[in-house]
Structure 1
């Protein structure tokens, strides 16, 4: 992610609309632009399907976040050294209290097994890697 994008993302107060767009119009808009890998591994491909069914409504298609709803998971904050795979497991099973972002608490996500979440994490990690987040 370019320095300018990072700066604009972090410098903009949470209550201020992006690029001068009205808050109502920006609601749900992607929060970051990312590079999509040419090909996903087998586990990540399964994870993408699960993500699209269970996570994309809030975190956006390709985990780019959604204005006013949820953060991008393709972001340096979620790099493996800061949010290990187990953090995603816990977030899904128990929910998460708001701490990095101004979106409110994330509720638990029902109906996903640890194996399902592991596949979703494989997908997120491949997206992150394609965007220089290791």
Structure 2
């Protein structure tokens, strides 16, 4: 009886978690894409020299979890081209702190983000410029 209660509790908890997180990612309808697929569609704008440099740095340091063009990766990390990361909610300083110190999971069910090794403040500046350019091109101001 006790095992049955525990099993039912676990199943119900997973269902509730699924319902609560389903609407976090815009454009998601029924199930999350499999195998690290992008979580959102991203329009990539024309980039200037600074944002192109940020694109390269993002690819080297961030895309493994946050996906190509900051579209997120199912099972790995959230999209940064998302209203949650708009400048009014997560300012540029939040990105600098996250890279330097890591960040505890608080918006998404991906787990904590570790600090990013070997990324300078200048690198993070370029990465943030790139992410902000992507956000603007996708209606996130």
Scaled to the shorter chain, the TM-score interval is 0.7 to 0.9
- 1:124 pairs, out of 125, 131, 134, with 131
Give the deviation of 1:121 after TM superposition.
0.1
Cα displacement (A) at 1:62: 0.3
Q: For 2:35 and 2:112, locate their aligned partners in 1 and report how far apart those are by CA, in whole Å.
A: 17
CA shift, 1:27, in A, is 2.5
Supply the distance in 2 between the matched residues of 1:70 and 1:95 (Cα, whole angstroms). Answer: 13
TM-score (norm 1): 0.83
Structure 1 segments (4+ residues) deviating >2 Å: none
Residue 56 (structure 1) aligns with? 63
SS at match of 2:99: helix
Are 1:82 and 2:89 matched, yes or no? yes
Question: Once the 2 structures are TM-superposed, how far is the Cα of residue 43 of structure 1 from its aligned partner?
Answer: 1.1
CA positional deviation for 1:86: 0.4
Bigger RCO of structures 1 and 2 (CA < 8 A, at least 6 apart): 1
Q: Gaps spanning 5+ residues in structure 1: where?
A: none
Q: Which has the larger radius of gyration?
A: 2
Length, aligned pairs only: 117
2:115 pairs, out of 104, 108, 111, with: 108
Could you state the TM-score of these two structures normalised by the residue count of structure 2? Answer: 0.79
Point out where structure 2 has 5 or more consecutive residues left out of the alignment. 1-24
Q: How far 1:54 sits from its partner (Å)? A: 0.7
Q: Give the secondary-structure state (helix, strand or coil) at the position aligned to 1:77.
A: helix
Which residue of structure 2 lines up, in the alignment, with residue 30 of structure 1? 38
